[in-house]
Structure 1
């Protein structure tokens, strides 16, 4: 900040000294003034009464012949069609002209280079400033300007002619003269501010004209001062003229590509820099390090172009470089081998378009390992390679949950990339010693290794409690994330700590959906086998279902047997009936397919005493379950029972059995309000709510349309109806089944319900309340009084609203059933129809709904669900 203030004060002094004749400013003074901010320039001009345009305008003021008049330069329009190269922004697939963006910028009549060191051969001329410091017997400093006559005015020595001397000669001459005439002093001589000089920049540059540039400036600095090149200008043909003679030629490609500055010479006053029109150009794209459009000279070759473009990328296919060449009869395509001298020496023609293609992504001389291993990826292939060569140690090379009983080799068998599949036992293969499972590999084989996560039905069958299932299932979480290797396409694994379980429950079973599961890894293999089953080729797939950990579709491997199919599916579950299994085989006949079913003894196949039959295309194996195998079915009972919790049930158990196993009801239980829910009903109820919401939304749309096309008055607000739609969409279904628990507990078999897996029973505590809901003034809860009637409770809630339908009032019992007062003797006063926990609902009048008939059904469902949630909570 202090430096800026000092500079401003100095500039003010210079400015003040010039106000006597503002038109005669030197280039150095103008340049110094221009270093100030616009606001500082305006402040100085206003303070001293000088027209700012005389300093930064068109420079029309008179001055000495050595001063260059500053030009009026408009800001550069980078979007102008003729100057797009000045600020090229590369679009996808667009090639830029090489080198032009380096010199693009705003023209400037002054380019300061005060920080450059002054060479000893620098010629002193008028306008330079010489700094002289004397020390010793006398300490003083001088800043002496070289006058127009070429001399400096030394205070104690008088005028000394210095113009035409080199900087080295100046220092020697002044040092000798000062020491002779002033005794006892030493000198330190340097150059201060350097003169500016006038040069001309012409040709295909952005702003041709005369420019004030420092005396040390070179050709490239003059070009930058002129704003760089037009798109039509040549970077390779730049001429420097001095005294009407060509003194040098500059090819900027030598500077840009090689760093050579030999021809970037220092200019002198009066020099002219001329940029010729652009010469022939070619483009190069594809797998090249610096794709662009390049200007070429006559005789340049393909090899020189590739070198100018930075060389080819590692994945470039140099044996077939594509060259599109314009000819009289159209575009010809040439192919050059850039790996030999003949191809590199190919002469380029104007307009050639060179493209380096990419090598094939197919891995050569490699095998790929995918799945539940610690190091997925490609491995170098060698003749005689076996499975055991890929895994030195099962403990180090395999994940903890790797299934070692089932693994696959996928092998391409022809040029069309058709595949066949081999199956092997990974655990046996790792034993080595010429084990038959240690398969010999071919080039480009892919080995698939699968996970064997224990959170499956096989694991569940060893547990007696669903609660412990959930606890142990969470402990089997796979703490890994996965990425795809961009080179090999292999899925890579990374440990990220605890995460959610990768297996999603689906009813009774657990789905095998981990990252290295059969479901995930087999999917592309099965898809390829389906696609190649054409032209009479049978699809090489089979199915296995039933009591196996991983039922599904599997590749039909060479020589596959029933035992191989069971190994592929993870073995047999404990629930498997080993004496009962079924094979379904498709027999293809002309014009039709016949299915044959055959039973076989599974136990004999597994122990080797029976016929291990071979599998065929489209075979289906069903491993049947043992009779009454339901040890994994669980239900929950909560609320007012002596021992609430989760219970494993057998086939045929009922609600009465469950309550008895839970120790019976407590003294606070209210069995009339029991809530019983079932998973299948919950799904049906959720679907019904979605249909109601959709129907109601359609009715609302129809109502809105009627209101736009008629002058009739409607009373229902669509906003109220839409709120019901939102409630239907956001409310979770309960799946409640209305039961009469008191009758069940009294032994009424016709009221009892047989339990299913996932059922839930909740017995609430007794609540001595009556609720009034719907179209009443103040929906409320009241203490139950058996002597009060339905109407009396409605009156206690403020009475019905205007839109209420008082003829259709109904009561929702605590058990979820619905009763109508005007149709049932239960509501006769003498029979005490109301009971503790009942809810009185006053519905909205159908006429008031303007035809929204679905709205009353939707609100009734929401009321019933609300009552159930209220009981549970």
Structure 2
């Protein structure tokens, strides 16, 4: 009796110590009796909450706990459990438990390295795919055969007239302790059997359960962690995994079989006996997971070395290295490799076998696939079928269906033409060609008279052979392609195909009809054909001059054309559309004006525009003439002898095309006003633009000067006055090349004579431009020395020559 009382007292003391730690780590005075293994997850959650409320870490609480008698080992356990804990749910908080009814599992950390095995080993990729790890799904219903053990946690609920709700762990002794009910041993029992046992125990305390007024619900809320051992894997060792884990999940964590590990004879050892032999090929080939059995605590997975492996390469859908079991055949190997590809040669397979001294080669015929048993180290090679046909024959040319057809023994030329739906209307029936492949793979030509062959002549209707290529000619192949040319005042000039019976009327319509500028004259040139050379007739073509009605495509005289005729429709002698010039600026009537006369001059157009206004600058009249395409072509055609790599001419052409759109023609209006025969009274061209500047007294100064500005004009002031007025020139200025652009577009440059520099005269509205001085590369000392050496060498040669 005393022993029983002592045990009860010790139990109460331990319980109180645990409760004291759970209630307040910082208020307890004696923590020497604490055993962390006896604390529930909810107790750990309370301790974690206390640390958070006091705003300290577990490391900061260590001196305090050790000072109150807690051993270093127990504190280390407490620290580990707090680090692994992620839940702050209390058993007394029923509402929180109702919200989180999902099953939990302690976090399991297993380091897995990527496999470096030969990727050709069939099945090795299974253990390198992170999306196929076979982890148990904790959200699925608990298996009825699940065996409970220490570390599991049950959610026990009584609902109805009486209510009770608690998460109850399975203790180390394998029992669950339910308030008012007592301890119930459940370790080693299935979840189904444990549920019945717990329900019966509760019914003895809760009377309404027996009467049916209250119901009992029991579920697995937390899964325990079990220890298993893997031998022979890439990462052998002990692993902590979920009690719901399976063999494949454990193999994945272990990295799969090692370099020499078997994929087909893996042993699951339970209680020191082989519980099951696992063949991973069942899953890889058929998706069969019957070998993927659940694991128990202390299970051992042993992966022995493989017994035999063979290699299958070439035209199979899944080439690689395969493990074979005793009694399996080559047909089984093909199944593992998913069979032949579409181009595989299946009549036989070549295999290289090892003997005790060397290799030997053997051919396995298709009839042996189901009986031949591969040997360790066999290398099977499946080749492609030959790129040739056993019954092909081809026909092309003037038949309705030229194509490739199947050949049969005894086939004749008439049979093949019938297969091709017969000859077309343009078929040349006097001859057909057969290109035949001889036995030595050279070719020969066989000619056939089609007309006789199709009329029943047995000798002409020759027999065909496979790979024959039959060509039926068309009469159109022998007809010369005739052309005819039309040019001049026709809407669509060009070269057209000639058809027999073509007339001038037909051709005019075919070419789009005459243009409005067509004259009545048409010239037709026809080639001269003769078997003999006539030296007295130098003519190269025969000419026909025909008069037509230009406003009608249907001519009274319908001239018949011949192949290679060249027709030229002449243009009317006078047919010019009105063309215009533009005038803008200080004239009374700006706008566009038609050139009424071929020799209209600038004076005539300005007078038609009402003359110059009172604010016009008589020295500011100029013509802007568009640069014509022909002018650019003339520049391109000039050979400046600058070499192909020189860019001067290219830059000039590019500048004319893209930058300079107009050429400026200065006009001396004062001279024209006095004498209309002045040479500056130029004749205008279509597109010309006349600009009359408005009088301004400013002089614009720009370029390499200190300040770009416009200076008021002062009569009699020199060029230098205006440069000084803008602050002079800058350091890069090339003053001796400065120039003036006058209002009419004319330019004047600086000149010099006997070291006396003469600057151009400045007028109202002028523009002074100071260009930038080009950079000159200075001659270095090394270049001077080199140049001097060259001169010395030349001098020596000259002296030597003179002495002779």
TM-score by length of 1: 0.50
> Map of 1:70-81 to 2, 5 A cutoff?
76=113
CA distance in 2, matches of 1:344, 1:568: 76
Structure 2 counterpart of 1:196, from 225, 231, 238: 225
Aligned length: 586
1:705-752 Cα deviation digits (max 9, x unpaired): xxxxxxxxxxxxxxxxxxx99x99999324323231625675337435
**CA 1:775–1:162 in 2, change beyond 3 Å: closer, same or farther?**
closer
**CA 1:629–1:808 in 2, change beyond 3 Å: closer, same or farther?**
same
Structure 2 counterpart of 1:178, from 192, 198, 202: 202
Instruction: Give the unaligned 5+ runs of structure 1.
Output: 1-9, 60-69, 86-94, 359-382, 386-411, 416-438, 443-535, 700-723, 853-873
Q: What displacement does 1:234 show?
A: 7.0
CA distance in 2, matches of 1:343, 1:543: 74
Q: Report if aligned partners of 2:487, 2:493 keep a CA contact under 8 Å in 1.
A: yes
CA distance in 2, matches of 1:839, 1:685: 32
**CA 1:559–1:758 in 2, change beyond 3 Å: closer, same or farther?**
farther
1:672 lines up with 2:608 in the alignment: no
Show the counterpart of 2:299: 271
Q: Report if aligned partners of 2:36, 2:77 keep a CA contact under 8 Å in 1.
A: no
1:793 lines up with 2:722 in the alignment: yes
CA distance in 1, matches of 2:568, 2:700: 55
Q: Report if aligned partners of 2:705, 2:729 keep a CA contact under 8 Å in 1.
A: yes
Q: Report if aligned partners of 1:679, 1:758 keep a CA contact under 8 Å in 2.
A: no
1:123 lines up with 2:147 in the alignment: yes
Q: Report if aligned partners of 1:302, 1:345 keep a CA contact under 8 Å in 2.
A: no
Q: What displacement does 1:105 show?
A: 4.7
The DSSP-based 3-state class of the residue aligned with 1:126 is: coil
Q: Report if aligned partners of 2:351, 2:381 keep a CA contact under 8 Å in 1.
A: yes
CA distance in 2, matches of 1:644, 1:158: 117
1:612 lines up with 2:561 in the alignment: yes
Show the counterpart of 1:840: 768
CA distance in 1, matches of 2:75, 2:118: 30
Q: What displacement does 1:842 show?
A: 4.2
Structure 1 counterpart of 2:662, from 735, 743, 747: 735
CA distance in 2, matches of 1:638, 1:627: 34
> Map of 1:115-514 to 2, 5 A cutoff?
115-136=139-160, 138-185=162-209, 186-205=215-234, 207-227=235-255, 239-243=267-271, 246-248=274-276, 250=278, 255=283, 259-274=287-302, 279-280=309-310, 282=312, 298-300=329-331, 350=379, 352=381
Q: What displacement does 1:219 show?
A: 2.2
Q: Report if aligned partners of 1:675, 1:762 keep a CA contact under 8 Å in 2.
A: yes
**CA 1:203–1:239 in 2, change beyond 3 Å: closer, same or farther?**
same
Q: What displacement does 1:150 show?
A: 3.6
**CA 1:809–1:199 in 2, change beyond 3 Å: closer, same or farther?**
closer
Q: What displacement does 1:119 show?
A: 1.4
Show the counterpart of 1:498: none
RMSD value, Cα: 6.9
Q: Report if aligned partners of 1:808, 1:820 keep a CA contact under 8 Å in 2.
A: yes
Show the counterpart of 1:639: 585
Q: What displacement does 1:786 show?
A: 2.8
> Map of 1:508-547 to 2, 5 A cutoff?
none
Q: What displacement does 1:676 show?
A: 0.6
**CA 1:548–1:648 in 2, change beyond 3 Å: closer, same or farther?**
farther
Show the counterpart of 1:782: 711
Q: What displacement does 1:167 show?
A: 1.8
Q: Report if aligned partners of 1:640, 1:666 keep a CA contact under 8 Å in 2.
A: yes
Structure 2 counterpart of 1:816, from 742, 745, 752: 745
CA distance in 1, matches of 2:709, 2:279: 94
Instruction: Give the unaligned 5+ runs of structure 2.
Output: 1-18, 64-71, 82-106, 210-214, 388-398, 406-423, 428-477, 532-537, 780-804
Q: What displacement does 1:650 show?
A: 8.0
Q: What displacement does 1:52 show?
A: 13
**CA 1:547–1:124 in 2, change beyond 3 Å: closer, same or farther?**
farther
CA distance in 2, matches of 1:698, 1:247: 90
Q: What displacement does 1:184 show?
A: 1.7
Q: Report if aligned partners of 1:772, 1:780 keep a CA contact under 8 Å in 2.
A: yes
Show the counterpart of 1:770: 699
**CA 1:123–1:73 in 2, change beyond 3 Å: closer, same or farther?**
closer
CA distance in 2, matches of 1:763, 1:150: 115
CA distance in 2, matches of 1:766, 1:602: 62
1:180-206 Cα deviation digits (max 9, x unpaired): 44312332111221222222334344x
Q: Report if aligned partners of 2:736, 2:750 keep a CA contact under 8 Å in 1.
A: no
Q: Report if aligned partners of 1:112, 1:213 keep a CA contact under 8 Å in 2.
A: no
Q: What displacement does 1:611 show?
A: 2.3
Q: Report if aligned partners of 1:28, 1:196 keep a CA contact under 8 Å in 2.
A: no
CA distance in 2, matches of 1:543, 1:685: 28
TM-score by length of 2: 0.54
Show the counterpart of 1:424: none
**CA 1:299–1:669 in 2, change beyond 3 Å: closer, same or farther?**
farther
Q: What displacement does 1:117 show?
A: 1.9
1:669-690 Cα deviation digits (max 9, x unpaired): 43533251313389859999xx
The DSSP-based 3-state class of the residue aligned with 2:628 is: helix
CA distance in 2, matches of 1:757, 1:737: 15
**CA 1:183–1:558 in 2, change beyond 3 Å: closer, same or farther?**
farther
Q: What displacement does 1:213 show?
A: 1.2
Q: Report if aligned partners of 1:105, 1:228 keep a CA contact under 8 Å in 2.
A: no
Show the counterpart of 1:480: none
1:479-519 Cα deviation digits (max 9, x unpaired): xxxxxxxxxxxxxxxxxxxxxxxxxxxxxxxxxxxxxxxxx
CA distance in 1, matches of 2:141, 2:360: 54
> Map of 1:94-133 to 2, 5 A cutoff?
100=125, 103-105=128-130, 113-133=137-157
CA distance in 1, matches of 2:501, 2:305: 76
1:806-860 Cα deviation digits (max 9, x unpaired): 5554322222222246589xxx99xx954322223445668x85689xxxxxxxx
Q: Report if aligned partners of 1:202, 1:209 keep a CA contact under 8 Å in 2.
A: yes
CA distance in 2, matches of 1:253, 1:549: 80
CA distance in 1, matches of 2:264, 2:542: 86
Q: Report if aligned partners of 1:97, 1:293 keep a CA contact under 8 Å in 2.
A: yes
The DSSP-based 3-state class of the residue aligned with 1:736 is: strand
The DSSP-based 3-state class of the residue aligned with 1:737 is: strand
CA distance in 1, matches of 2:738, 2:491: 54
1:617-666 Cα deviation digits (max 9, x unpaired): xx987766555655386654433444544566689455526545655544
Q: What displacement does 1:781 show?
A: 1.4
Show the counterpart of 2:465: none
**CA 1:666–1:800 in 2, change beyond 3 Å: closer, same or farther?**
same
CA distance in 1, matches of 2:668, 2:169: 115
CA distance in 2, matches of 1:322, 1:280: 20
CA distance in 2, matches of 1:782, 1:277: 103
Q: Report if aligned partners of 1:633, 1:648 keep a CA contact under 8 Å in 2.
A: yes
